Amino acid sequence: MTTLKISSIPGEYYYGDLPGTLQYRKDPALLKTLDVPFVPGEQDSGYVNVQDQRVAQVLPVSSTAGKPFDWEQIMVMQKIDGDRVWLKAALKNKKSGLIALLTSCNSEKGMTDHGHRAIKAWDDGWFVGHYRMAAPLTFWAALKATL
């Protein structure tokens, strides 16, 4: 079993990697072994699954990430907080089969207010956090079930 760790963001957990690193190369076989704990009160995070394609909103413009057509959307969850829309995403690289885990927001200030560097996403007005992705337990449970 692979263990999630408690994030500094209340109600969120992360999987591996050092702080400040984007996650583009996660093995789906390991993600399937995630031990997603039940924590009373943390099942209603405000995030809901969205079905429409959001790859351009969650993928940063960078040579490492590639282009939106290089990725397949596996899962995206969304939370609306006032005028800010937050996305937590899992994308699959079409060539390598590895998974990217990313957080984005429709506000650059949304990222920088939390002390994170914001990277422009392919979709105008969207920014990806330059940090390891943390997400609520509902995200991790849904991802595990989807893979």
Convert the pLDDT of each residue in 15-38 to its tens digit: 886 666 678 788 999 999 998 988
Give residue for tokens 């031990």.
35
Average pLDDT of the chain, as a whole number: 89
pTM, two decimals, is: 0.91
Convert the pLDDT of each residue in 54-90 to its tens digit: 999 999 998 888 899 999 999 999 999 999 999 999 9
Give residue for tokens 């560097």.
117
Ranges of beta strands (E only) in the chain are 2-3, 5-6, 13-14, 23-26, 34-35, 48-50, 71-81, 84-93, 99-105, 118-120, 127-129, 134-135
Whole-angstrom distance, CA of residue 123 vs CA of residue 138:
26
Predicted local confidence at residue 18, as pLDDT: 65
Both tokens of 87, joined, read 């996305």
Whole-angstrom distance, CA of residue 26 vs CA of residue 100:
6
